[in-house]
């Protein structure tokens, strides 16, 4: 596993979240389409998982609502231009989840700890549903954390 995702279940969940987001197969900003033969194995394509709230916040790190599938070029542009990124977010499906993400991304209080084992189980089940066409990314984002 790439060191970029981190260790243990947290790393596995982060990697799976990225795979799920990029399985969209296109850049959500410029509509660049991935040419990889298998959308679940992005070996060489330019799609990246771009977070709204950064990866340091455990509560939002692996939320589907907290990430876009972006091409490397758009990801770089938005990283350099936060105001442009903000305008893009406001014009996208993510606009309605902004307040929710702000709450979820708050630092956890003492004694609170993210259960990465449980989160990995959640993402694996979601991955399975997506792979077997029982769910779309759009639906998964809509359903997430509404319970
Ligand atoms: Zn793009």
Nearest CA-CA partner of 133 in 40, 46, 52, 51 = 40
Cα 23 to ligand 1 centroid, rounded to whole Å: 15
pLDDT digits (tens, 9 = 90+) for 107-118: 887 778 899 999
Cα 24 to ligand 1 centroid, rounded to whole Å: 13
Statement: residue 1 has pLDDT above 50 = no
List phi, psi (to 5°) of 55: -70, -10
Cα 116 to ligand 1 centroid, rounded to whole Å: 30
pLDDT digits (tens, 9 = 90+) for 119-132: 999 999 999 999 99
Q: Provide the token pair at 10.
A: 């947290």
Q: Provide the token pair at 31.
A: 């509509």
Residue with tokens 């799976």: 16
pLDDT, average across residues 65-72: 96
pLDDT-derived band at 9, boundaries 50, 70, 90: very high
pLDDT, average across residues 75-102: 96
């Amino acid at each position: 596993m790439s060191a970029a995702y981190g260790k243990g279940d947290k790393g596995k969940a982060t990697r799976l979240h990225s795979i799920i987001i990029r399985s969209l197969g296109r850049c959500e900003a410029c509509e660049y389409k991935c040419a990889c033969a298998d959308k679940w194995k992005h070996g060489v394509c330019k799609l990246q998982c771009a977070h709204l709230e950064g990866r340091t916040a455990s509560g939002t790190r692996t939320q589907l609502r907290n990430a876009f599938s972006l091409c490397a070029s758009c990801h770089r542009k938005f990283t350099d231009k936060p105001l442009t990124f903000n305008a893009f977010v406001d014009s996208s499906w993510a606009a309605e989840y902004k307040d929710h993400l702000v709450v979820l991304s708050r630092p956890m209080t003492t004694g609170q700890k993210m259960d990465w084992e449980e989160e990995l189980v959640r993402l694996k089940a979601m991955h399975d549903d997506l792979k077997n066409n029982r769910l779309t990314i759009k639906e998964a984002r809509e359903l997430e954390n509404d319970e």
